[in-house]
Amino acid sequence: MQIFYRIIVCLSVSFIFMAPVAGQSLIPVNYSEFSKNSMAKQRDSLKAALACPVIFTKKETQKKYKEIWDARTDYILESINDNRFIQQPALHQYVSQILRELVNANPTLLKTMPLLLIDRSPAVNAYAMGNNIIAVNLGFLSFAQYREEIALALAHELAHNILNHCENSMKERAELLTSEEYLNNINAILDSKYERYTRLKKILDGYSYGSAKHNRYHEGEADSLAVVMLKKSNITFNPAFFLRLDSADLVYKTPLQSDLKSYLTAVNFTADDAWLRKGGKGLSSKKYSFSQEEISDSLKTHPDCVKRYEKLLPQSTFPGKQPLTAVPAQFEVVTNKAIIWTLFINSNLTSALYRIFLEKDKGTFDLWHQVMASYIFNGLFLADKRLSRFNAINIRSKEYISSSYYELQNMFEQIPRESLETACKASFNQSFWQQAKGDDKSFRSVLSSLNFSESLSQKELNSLKKDFEQSYSESIYREFLEQLK
């Protein structure tokens, strides 16, 4: 019930990136750019700005309304504290610029610049939170090929806010939950002797806010208004973006260009063939063929994409006067690095390494990826030591992954601990470390101590953390160290 106040997620150039200096890798995010740090001031003013308005005269309803409203505020503030968002300047500037164009061209709809949050989630999505706040996920920014595609997502989320979808939903829910009819129904069931659960469930389903039908209506409304806003902004609207969104769940289904072992060799890891195959005794030894078949609509994050495409086809302004603007390559590189780091910090190691291999196929693999791969193997060893290897692998079901991904997750599951230890030590002794930066090397030392020293006391660990923080106050690795207990 905790997510009821969230709008069910939908859709869900001028900036020049600095070229990386030779031998220096592009760091995706600095420590101060994580939301806990970068949004400290905003967090307090946000709390004040999000005071619940009094809109109901009925006391119980207003009380319920405030409960729902405050739960949303708490959710936003907690998310900021949990570093759910980042304010990486290059990403923020690029997306803000698009947002500004939409705002400037639609002054009657948008009176002030919305608060834009970049959510670190790898899921291909964006969402509106009401009160002129929108968020776009790193996963969406990585997925978008064109500036106009990002503009469509932003316009769609802005439309939800303009149409007060979030606010109205909170209002309706407060009204429903304190309505006489609802309370009478609940009381009648609680007084009855039979089938309480089934009857209660029926009532709750009937009152559940954001029913599919209700949401679909909201989505249609938001799409239509988004197209109007895009037209006013002279931003080309290509309905085919909706069709591409249909394949949004396929990132880990993307096959590697050659066999998995060659990618492992590139990150200095020698895999035994036997590790790549699933042991026969598992629970699901059922045969599965990894074809490039479509995922069924019911399993998709974005159903109805084809319907949305067909509905909006008459509104198309594609091809426009200007050709579509491809998202700059460096934007994609930074976005993907930020995703890889986020997967690593969330102990989602198979996905993190697979994304590194996908970067290799795109020709964007660099020293940073090499260093990260080494940390990922060591992260797996650390998880194993702490008896959480299975969690760190984060098994994905076969419908969503390629055969290479499946082999990689099998390998992470089956590589014996001793072999993993040897590989981890070897990866920390490769020659590429000579070109790594100070904080990379220092973090390597910390991981070495955690992984390979007999036992590390809390005191020793604290002093390692402190030394690191003092030497590298802006380093991304501080996020990892803060999680250590």
Residues that bind Zn ion (CB under 5 A): 10, 219, 222
Round to whole Å and give the CA distance between 370 and 263: 11
In Å, how far are 165, 246, 308, 467 from 301, measured between CA atoms?
Answer: 20, 8, 14, 44
Judged by beta carbon, residue 165 or residue 360, the one nearer Zn ion is 165
What's the closest the beta carbon of residue 111 comes to Zn ion, in angstroms? 21
Q: How far is the CB of 160 from Zn ion (least distance, A)?
A: 6
Cα–chain center distance at 18: 25
CA 47 to chain centre: 24
Nearer residue to Zn ion within complex by CB, 6 or 66: 6
Helices 349-362 and 367-385: crossing angle, nearest 10°? 160
Please, what is the minimum distance in Å from the beta carbon of residue 130 to Zn ion?
A: 13
DSSP at 455? -
**Of the two residues 87 and 106, which places its CB atom closer to Zn ion in the complex?**
106
Q: Which residues pair with 334 in a beta bridge?
A: none
Instruction: Look up residue 8 and give its two tokens.
Output: 């069910």
Nearer to Zn ion, 227 or 450 (CB): 227
CA 352 to chain centre: 13
**Residue whose CB is nearest to Zn ion in the complex, by number:** 10
**How near is the Cβ of 274 to Zn ion at its closest, in Å?**
47
Complex with Zn ion: residue 39 or 129, whichever CB lies closer: 129
Least distance in angstroms from the C-beta of 355 to Zn ion: 26
Of the candidates 396, 340, 326, the residue with the CA atom closest to the CA atom of residue 368: 340
Closest contact distance (angstroms) between CB of 137 and Zn ion is: 13
**Minimum CB separation from Zn ion for residue 222, in Å?**
5
Least gap, CB of 217 to Zn ion (angstroms): 11
Shorter beta-carbon distance to Zn ion: residue 127 or 381: 127
* 417-420: Cβ within 8 A, 24+ apart: 417/381, 417/384, 419/272, 420/377, 420/380, 420/381, 420/384
Is 106 or 336 the residue whose CB approaches Zn ion more closely? 106
Contact 144, 118 (CB under 8 A): no
Of residues 10 and 248, the one with the C-beta less far from Zn ion: 10
Q: In 163-304, where does DSSP find H-type helix?
A: 165-177, 180-191, 196-207, 212-232, 240-245, 260-266, 273-276
Q: List C-alpha distances in Å: 239 to 98, 116, 375.
A: 18, 24, 41
